[in-house]
Structure 1
Amino acid sequence: MSSADYAIETRNLTKTFKGFTAVDDVSLKVERGTIHALIGPNGAGKSTMFNLITKFLEPTTGTILLNGKDITSQKPAQIARKGAVRSFQISSVFPHLTLLENIRVALQRRMHNSYHFWKPESRLDVLNDDARTILTQVGLEDSESVLATELPYGRKRLLELATTLALEPKVMLLDEPMAGMGTGDVQRVADIIRRVAKGRTVLMVEHNLSVVADLSDTITVLQLGAVLAEGSYDEVSQNREVRSAYMGEADD
């Protein structure tokens, strides 16, 4: 396969902080239209990889490609405009806006004069139908008038997913979408990710191995900033080094 066949590709990506190597010569290939999981123990470099790919961090060395195009020198906003949109571990919604209003803020990009907060709110009413469609996609259609701050944690994460969808991503980077969720919420969010991933590429960091096994086409395991193993869940889960490093099992 050529570079154009991959939604995301990194070549020999390295990031050092004052002598500490957080990401060590990582070459990653994420096939277009797949769900690709990035897993590993705490400190493995997963979130740093996300920050490098979306250019919230500058790499020390290496190259980053999006759909075969070199984006190594570009800024986060440029990459988002190219269709690669990420979520964050920490809540990134507007707590004192309603769910509908949160989605409308994200949808303003379509108007090509976005984020003019000083103009009348009524000018955004043209976005209401699309905002409601997105809320329905994530199962929040019954809560459009609720303030985001009033949502329980699991539903707040669904709202974050909805705002990500509102940016019309071709590539979604989800940073621990199940973090802190109860069992019921985990299954709901997993089902929604599977549904909205159709026609898109998803790269996600996730600690919940049952979710990773259920959703992922390919898994890359990081340890100490380097690639330890890669393959299907069955392949990586049977890897002795992975079982030792990630699952805490002793190597025989």
Structure 2
Amino acid sequence: MLKSEYAIETSNLTKTFAGFTAVDNVSLQVERGTIHALIGPNGAGKSTMFNLITKFLEPTAGKILLNGEDVTAAKPAAIARKGAVRSFQISSVFPHLSLLDNIRVSLQQRMNNSFNFWTSDRRLDTLNEDARRILAEVGLDDSEDILATELPYGRKRLLELATTLALEPKVMLLDEPMAGMGTGDVKRVADIIRRVAKNRTVLMVEHNLNVVAELSDRISVLQAGAILAEGTYDEVSKNPDVRSAYMGEADA
């Protein structure tokens, strides 16, 4: 049986809260092996879409498919086991663990679906090679013994990306990975996302349009919970409705 060409697909996806429609009949298709950006003004429904796809929210109506499989009724843990892993807008690393230990937590979660804090150091040491390889992948291999709380903001976001990679995701959902970063950190993280996306599918919410233009194969623009336009960056940036709804606000 052939898998769908789409890693993520939603059909007429809708979410209402007490009469307010946050996501309105959205049919989204994210092609496997691409970087797909989801953009739009504040309140457009981007984070709600992420929460629906990863099942942190239940849809009011519609379907969600991962690699052609209907996962509308699945729980968040089941979505993660199927290879779709989300990083959050706010860093979610363990601040008082070292970088190496943060990665080992994710590696153990991948193997056992839970982390046992009483696991012996000897057993956890078997994870060190993989943990160091992942830290090297995001350029943090020189800091493995530093506590996460001691990292500057940009490198802390790199650590979060590393913990996501440790779960071996087939699909990565990145929620504003550049939020709060300076220019140097933005370039570093963009380069890493491009590199780690080579064998994965990435769905990314991002406000930095330079990053969106540089990284994205395809873009979906949300406004008031509905898809306003889709296409390449050149296509959507020339769309007068998009320029009115989003581009002007982002460039202000």
Counterpart position of 1:168: 168
Output the TM-score relative to the length of structure 2.
0.96
Deviations 1:142-194 (A, max 9, x none): 00000000000000000000000000000000000000000000000000000
Counterpart position of 1:240: 240
Counterpart position of 1:96: 96
**8 Å CA contact retained: 1:8, 1:30:** yes
Relative to structure 1, the CA distance from residue 3 to residue 113 in structure 2 (aligned partners, 3 Å threshold; closer, same or farther) is: closer
Equivalent position amino acid for 2:44 in 1: A
Counterpart position of 1:186: 186
> Distance between the aligned counterparts of 2:170 and 2:201, measured in 1?
6
What SS does the aligned partner of 1:77 have?
Answer: helix
Counterpart position of 2:68: 68
Counterpart position of 2:198: 198
> Distance between the aligned counterparts of 2:171 and 2:159, measured in 1?
18
1:111 Cα deviation from its structure 2 partner: 3.7
**8 Å CA contact retained: 1:3, 1:9:** no
Equivalent position amino acid for 2:132 in 1: R
Relative to structure 1, the CA distance from residue 60 to residue 111 in structure 2 (aligned partners, 3 Å threshold; closer, same or farther) is: closer
Counterpart position of 2:27: 27
**8 Å CA contact retained: 2:110, 2:166:** no
Counterpart position of 2:151: 151
Count of matched residue positions in the alignment of Structure 1 and Structure 2: 248
> Distance between the aligned counterparts of 2:215 and 2:50, measured in 1?
19
> Distance between the aligned counterparts of 1:69 and 1:132, measured in 2?
34
Output the TM-score relative to the length of structure 1.
0.96
Q: Please tell me the root mean square deviation across aligned C-alpha atoms, in Å.
A: 1.2
Any unmatched runs of 5+ in structure 1?
none
Deviations 1:116-167 (A, max 9, x none): 2123223100000100000000000000000000000000000000000000
**8 Å CA contact retained: 2:36, 2:202:** yes
1:112 Cα deviation from its structure 2 partner: 3.1
Counterpart position of 1:223: 223
> Distance between the aligned counterparts of 2:37 and 2:23, measured in 1?
17
Instruction: Map 1:7-26 onto structure 2 (within 5 A).
Output: 7-26=7-26
Counterpart position of 1:36: 36
Bigger shift: residues 15-24 or 240-249: 240-249
> Distance between the aligned counterparts of 1:109 and 1:149, measured in 2?
21
Counterpart position of 1:58: 58
**8 Å CA contact retained: 1:10, 1:29:** yes
> Distance between the aligned counterparts of 2:244 and 2:19, measured in 1?
27
> Distance between the aligned counterparts of 1:212 and 1:116, measured in 2?
39
**8 Å CA contact retained: 1:171, 1:202:** yes
Relative to structure 1, the CA distance from residue 155 to residue 97 in structure 2 (aligned partners, 3 Å threshold; closer, same or farther) is: same
Q: Once the two structures are aligned, what percentage of the paired residues are identical?
A: 81
Deviations 1:6-42 (A, max 9, x none): 0000000000000000000000000000000000000
Counterpart position of 2:47: 47
Relative to structure 1, the CA distance from residue 25 to residue 3 in structure 2 (aligned partners, 3 Å threshold; closer, same or farther) is: farther
Equivalent position amino acid for 1:228 in 2: L
Any unmatched runs of 5+ in structure 2?
none
Counterpart position of 2:214: 214
